Homo-oligomer: A and B are copies of this chain.
Amino acid sequence: MIQADKFMEDKGVRPTAMRLLVFRFLAESKTAKTLSDIENAFAKADRTTLYRTLKTFEDKAIVHQIDDGTGMTKYALCEEGCNCAIEQDLHLHFHCNNCKETVCLTAHKIPHINLPDGYVAEDANLVLKGICDKCSGQ
Protein backbone atom coordinates (compact mmCIF):
# COMPACT_ATOMS: atom_id res chain seq x y z
CA MET A 1 0.00 0.00 0.00
CA ILE A 2 2.78 2.40 0.92
CA GLN A 3 4.92 1.70 -2.10
CA ALA A 4 2.39 0.72 -4.71
CA ASP A 5 4.95 0.97 -7.50
CA LYS A 6 7.31 -1.45 -5.87
CA PHE A 7 4.54 -3.82 -4.87
CA MET A 8 3.29 -4.07 -8.42
CA GLU A 9 6.74 -4.56 -9.87
CA ASP A 10 7.34 -7.35 -7.41
CA LYS A 11 4.18 -8.96 -8.71
CA GLY A 12 5.43 -8.64 -12.26
CA VAL A 13 3.10 -5.84 -13.34
CA ARG A 14 4.35 -2.64 -14.84
CA PRO A 15 3.13 0.23 -12.69
CA THR A 16 1.54 2.50 -15.25
CA ALA A 17 -0.38 5.60 -14.21
CA MET A 18 -3.76 4.00 -14.76
CA ARG A 19 -2.81 0.81 -12.98
CA LEU A 20 -1.59 2.73 -9.97
CA LEU A 21 -4.84 4.66 -9.84
CA VAL A 22 -6.87 1.47 -9.95
CA PHE A 23 -4.69 -0.18 -7.36
CA ARG A 24 -4.93 2.76 -4.98
CA PHE A 25 -8.68 3.02 -5.52
CA LEU A 26 -9.12 -0.61 -4.54
CA ALA A 27 -6.68 -0.29 -1.67
CA GLU A 28 -8.72 2.56 -0.21
CA SER A 29 -12.02 0.78 -0.76
CA LYS A 30 -13.49 -1.08 2.16
CA THR A 31 -15.87 -2.96 -0.12
CA ALA A 32 -15.55 -4.84 -3.40
CA LYS A 33 -15.97 -2.77 -6.55
CA THR A 34 -17.37 -3.45 -9.98
CA LEU A 35 -15.81 -2.42 -13.26
CA SER A 36 -18.44 0.31 -13.49
CA ASP A 37 -17.60 1.55 -10.02
CA ILE A 38 -14.01 1.98 -11.07
CA GLU A 39 -15.02 3.51 -14.38
CA ASN A 40 -17.11 6.10 -12.56
CA ALA A 41 -14.33 6.84 -10.12
CA PHE A 42 -12.11 8.15 -12.89
CA ALA A 43 -13.86 10.33 -15.42
CA LYS A 44 -11.11 9.92 -17.95
CA ALA A 45 -10.81 6.15 -17.90
CA ASP A 46 -11.60 3.76 -20.69
CA ARG A 47 -13.63 0.73 -19.76
CA THR A 48 -11.54 -1.66 -21.81
CA THR A 49 -8.32 -0.53 -20.25
CA LEU A 50 -9.80 -0.95 -16.80
CA TYR A 51 -11.15 -4.33 -17.78
CA ARG A 52 -7.76 -5.50 -18.93
CA THR A 53 -6.06 -3.91 -15.96
CA LEU A 54 -8.25 -5.96 -13.64
CA LYS A 55 -7.58 -9.06 -15.66
CA THR A 56 -3.84 -8.48 -15.39
CA PHE A 57 -4.18 -7.90 -11.66
CA GLU A 58 -6.12 -11.12 -11.37
CA ASP A 59 -3.56 -13.13 -13.32
CA LYS A 60 -0.84 -11.81 -11.05
CA ALA A 61 -2.83 -12.49 -7.88
CA ILE A 62 -3.19 -8.84 -6.97
CA VAL A 63 -6.98 -8.86 -6.99
CA HIS A 64 -9.60 -11.59 -6.94
CA GLN A 65 -13.00 -11.67 -8.51
CA ILE A 66 -16.13 -11.96 -6.44
CA ASP A 67 -19.40 -13.30 -7.72
CA ASP A 68 -21.95 -12.20 -5.17
CA GLY A 69 -24.96 -13.03 -7.30
CA THR A 70 -25.81 -9.46 -8.22
CA GLY A 71 -24.87 -10.11 -11.82
CA MET A 72 -21.90 -7.81 -11.81
CA THR A 73 -18.44 -9.16 -11.15
CA LYS A 74 -16.73 -7.43 -8.27
CA TYR A 75 -13.06 -7.05 -7.50
CA ALA A 76 -11.11 -6.71 -4.29
CA LEU A 77 -7.44 -6.70 -3.45
CA CYS A 78 -6.02 -9.98 -2.27
CA GLU A 79 -4.90 -10.14 1.30
CA GLU A 80 -1.24 -10.11 2.11
CA GLY A 81 0.01 -13.66 1.93
CA CYS A 82 -2.99 -14.77 -0.09
CA ASN A 83 -2.03 -17.64 -2.33
CA CYS A 84 -4.64 -16.93 -4.97
CA ALA A 85 -2.12 -17.82 -7.63
CA ILE A 86 -1.79 -21.40 -6.47
CA GLU A 87 -5.19 -22.09 -5.00
CA GLN A 88 -8.32 -20.20 -4.05
CA ASP A 89 -8.42 -18.45 -0.76
CA LEU A 90 -11.79 -19.75 0.30
CA HIS A 91 -13.04 -16.96 2.48
CA LEU A 92 -16.68 -16.04 2.38
CA HIS A 93 -18.29 -12.87 1.09
CA PHE A 94 -21.11 -10.86 2.53
CA HIS A 95 -23.52 -8.83 0.45
CA CYS A 96 -25.66 -6.23 2.22
CA ASN A 97 -29.23 -6.10 0.98
CA ASN A 98 -29.49 -2.57 2.29
CA CYS A 99 -26.42 -0.68 1.08
CA LYS A 100 -25.76 -3.21 -1.71
CA GLU A 101 -22.09 -3.37 -0.83
CA THR A 102 -20.09 -6.58 -0.78
CA VAL A 103 -17.22 -7.23 1.57
CA CYS A 104 -14.58 -9.90 1.90
CA LEU A 105 -14.65 -11.65 5.24
CA THR A 106 -11.14 -12.93 4.88
CA ALA A 107 -11.00 -14.21 8.42
CA HIS A 108 -13.99 -16.47 7.78
CA LYS A 109 -13.05 -19.45 5.71
CA ILE A 110 -15.64 -21.63 4.04
CA PRO A 111 -16.11 -24.67 6.26
CA HIS A 112 -15.41 -28.12 4.95
CA ILE A 113 -18.54 -29.71 3.55
CA ASN A 114 -19.19 -33.42 3.47
CA LEU A 115 -20.29 -34.46 0.03
CA PRO A 116 -21.96 -37.62 -1.23
CA ASP A 117 -19.70 -40.43 -2.47
CA GLY A 118 -18.03 -39.70 -5.77
CA TYR A 119 -18.15 -35.94 -5.48
CA VAL A 120 -14.78 -34.22 -5.35
CA ALA A 121 -14.71 -30.55 -4.38
CA GLU A 122 -12.05 -28.36 -5.95
CA ASP A 123 -13.45 -24.91 -5.35
CA ALA A 124 -16.23 -23.23 -3.43
CA ASN A 125 -18.16 -19.99 -3.33
CA LEU A 126 -20.14 -18.94 -0.31
CA VAL A 127 -22.03 -15.67 -0.28
CA LEU A 128 -24.10 -14.60 2.69
CA LYS A 129 -26.68 -11.90 2.19
CA GLY A 130 -28.30 -9.75 4.80
CA ILE A 131 -27.56 -6.57 6.70
CA CYS A 132 -24.00 -5.41 7.20
CA ASP A 133 -22.58 -3.92 10.39
CA LYS A 134 -22.83 -0.38 9.05
CA CYS A 135 -26.50 -0.79 8.16
CA SER A 136 -27.57 -2.72 11.24
CA GLY A 137 -26.41 0.29 13.24
CA GLN A 138 -24.44 -1.76 15.66
Contact = CB atoms under 8 A, between A and B. Distances in A.
A113 interface: yes
A36 interface: no
A129 B113 CA distance: 12
Copies of this chain, complex-wide, total 2
16 contacts: A67-B69, A94-B121, A108-B115, A108-B116, A110-B126, A115-B128, A119-B128, A120-B130, A121-B128, A121-B129, A122-B131, A123-B130, A124-B129, A125-B125, A125-B126, A126-B126
A138 interface: yes
A115 B94 contact: yes
A75 to B, nearest CB: 15
